[in-house]
C-alpha cells in the first residue's frame, strides 16, 4: 500500500508541456520558490478546477515537508468531495505530520475518502480495523468488510490480508507495527527489500520519506524508490518522478521526472495514468 498515494502515493502544470510537471510544481507562472515560502501563493481556484493535478501538487508539497501547504490543498479538494484528498488528510492526522496527531479525525477522513471513491482509504480502514493498533481496537468484522471492498476494487494487498498469508513480508511487517513492534517491522521490510522484493523497497521508500517509524531521510527514500522503480514497480516510479520534479531527494531534472511518470503510467499505476490524462 502506498502512503501518498497510497498513499501516497500518492499529485502539475502545463501539459506534458515541458515534461508534465515540468517539474516546476507550478500553475500558470507560479514558481516553486514562491510555493516554498508562502502558501498564500497557491491558487486554490486552479487546484479545485483541475483536481488531479491539484492532488499531485499537494503530494509534491508533502514530499518537500511543506505539510501546511499540502493540507491546505487537500482540504480544498476534500471540500469538493475528491476522495484521494480525504485519504491524504487522514494520513497527515494519523502520523501527526504538520498537525496534532488525531486518530479519530484520521479515521473520519478515511471514511470520507472511502465514501468518495478512494480505494486507498478503503484499504487503510480495512487494515486499521483488521489488525488493530495501539489507538484503535481490533474489529475483524469491520476490517474484513473494508478489505473485501478494496479487494473487489483490485487491491492486491487486501487480497493477501484476506488470505491470511502471514508469510508475506508486508503483511508480517504490518502485524508487527500493530503489535507495537516497529523495530521488528523495519527488520522484516529491510530483509525483504534486500532480497529483491520491490514492494518492500517501495514501502521503505515511503517510510523514510515521511519519517514513518524511522528518521526522515530523503536520500535513503530516493535510493529505495529507485531500486524498486528499476525493478518495475509503478508506484515507486511515480514517487521517483515527483522527487525529480521537486528536487526533494534527487537533483531536479524535468526530463527524468517526465520519463518516470510515463513509465509509471505504462506500468498501470493509476495516479500516473490520471496525471497524464489530466494534461
pLDDT tens string, the chain, 279 residues long: the values are 443 333 332 222 222 232 333 333 333 333 333 334 444 478 999 999 999 889 988 988 988 889 999 999 999 999 999 999 999 999 999 989 999 999 999 999 999 999 999 999 999 999 999 888 888 999 989 999 999 999 998 888 888 888 865 577 888 888 888 777 888 889 999 999 999 999 999 999 988 988 877 888 999 999 999 999 999 999 999 999 999 988 888 999 999 999 999 999 999 988 888 888 876
Give me the pLDDT at residue 12, please.
27
C-alpha–C-alpha distance, residues 252 and 25, integer Å: 11
What's the CA gap between 68 and 35, in Å, rounded?
11
**Which neighbouring-strand residues pair with 4?**
7
pLDDT at 109: 98
State residue 52's pLDDT score. 87
Contacts of 127 (CB under 8 A, 6+ apart): 1, 143, 147, 161, 174
Torsion, Cα 54 209 128 99, to 10 degrees, reads: -70
Total structural domains within the chain:
1
For the entire predicted model, the pTM comes to 0.68
Closest Cα partner for 11 from 64, 79, 58?
58
Phi, psi of 133 (to 5 degrees): -140, 170
Instruction: Report phi then psi at 131, rounded to 5.
Output: -95, -30
Query: For residue 7, what are the β-bridge partners?
Result: 4
Q: Report the chain's terminal Cα–Cα distance, integer Å.
A: 26
Residue 183 has a pLDDT of 87
- 168, 249, 160, 177: which is closest to 214 by C-alpha? 177
CA–CA dist 190, 176 (Å, integer): 13
Which pLDDT value is given to residue 164?
Answer: 63
Query: Tell me, what's the pLDDT at 279?
Result: 67
Domain hosting 163: range is 3-278
Q: Report the 10 Å Cβ neighbour count for 268.
A: 9
Compute how many other C-beta atoms are within 10 angstroms of the C-beta atom of residue 248.
Answer: 21
Q: Looking at residue 134, what is its pLDDT?
A: 84
Amino acid at each position: 500500500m502506498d502512503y501518498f498515494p497510497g498513499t501516497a502515493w500518492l499529485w502539475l502544470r502545463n501539459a506534458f508541456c515541458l515534461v508534465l510537471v515540468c517539474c516546476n510544481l507550478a500553475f500558470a507562472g507560479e514558481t516553486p520558490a514562491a510555493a516554498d515560502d508562502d502558501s498564500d501563493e497557491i491558487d486554490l481556484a486552479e487546484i479545485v478546477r483541475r483536481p488531479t493535478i491539484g492532488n499531485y501538487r499537494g503530494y509534491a508539497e508533502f514530499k518537500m515537508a511543506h505539510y501546511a501547504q499540502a493540507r491546505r490543498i487537500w482540504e480544498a479538494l476534500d471540500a469538493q468531495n475528491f476522495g484521494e484528498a480525504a485519504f491524504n488528510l487522514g494520513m497527515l492526522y494519523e502520523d501527526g505530520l504538520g498537525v496534532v496527531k488525531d486518530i479519530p479525525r484520521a479515521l473520519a477522513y478515511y471514511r470520507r475518502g472511502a465514501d468518495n471513491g478512494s480505494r486507498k482509504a478503503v484499504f487503510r480502514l480495512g487494515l486499521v480495523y483488521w489488525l488493530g493498533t495501539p489507538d484503535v481496537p481490533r474489529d475483524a468484522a469491520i476490517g474484513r468488510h473494508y478489505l473485501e471492498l478494496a479487494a473487489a476494487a483490485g487491491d492486491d494487498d487486501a487480497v493477501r490480508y484476506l488470505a491470511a498469508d502471514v508469510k508475506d513480508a508486508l503483511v508480517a511487517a504490518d502485524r508487527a507495527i500493530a503489535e507495537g513492534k516497529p523495530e521488528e517491522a523495519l527488520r522484516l521490510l529491510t530483509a525483504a527489500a534486500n532480497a529483491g522484493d520491490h514492494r518492500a523497497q517501495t514501502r521503505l521508500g515511503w517510510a523514510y520519506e515521511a519519517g514513518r517509524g524511522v528518521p526522515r531521510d530523503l536520500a535513503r527514500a530516493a535510493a529505495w524508490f529507485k531500486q524498486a522503480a528499476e525493478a518495475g514497480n509503478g508506484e515507486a516510479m511515480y514517487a521517483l518522478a515527483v522527487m525529480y520534479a521537486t528536487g526533494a531527494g534527487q537533483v531536479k531534472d524535468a526530463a527524468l521526472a517526465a520519463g518516470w511518470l510515463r513509465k509509471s503510467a505504462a506500468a498501470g499505476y493509476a495516479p500516473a495514468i490520471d496525471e497524464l490524462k489530466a494534461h
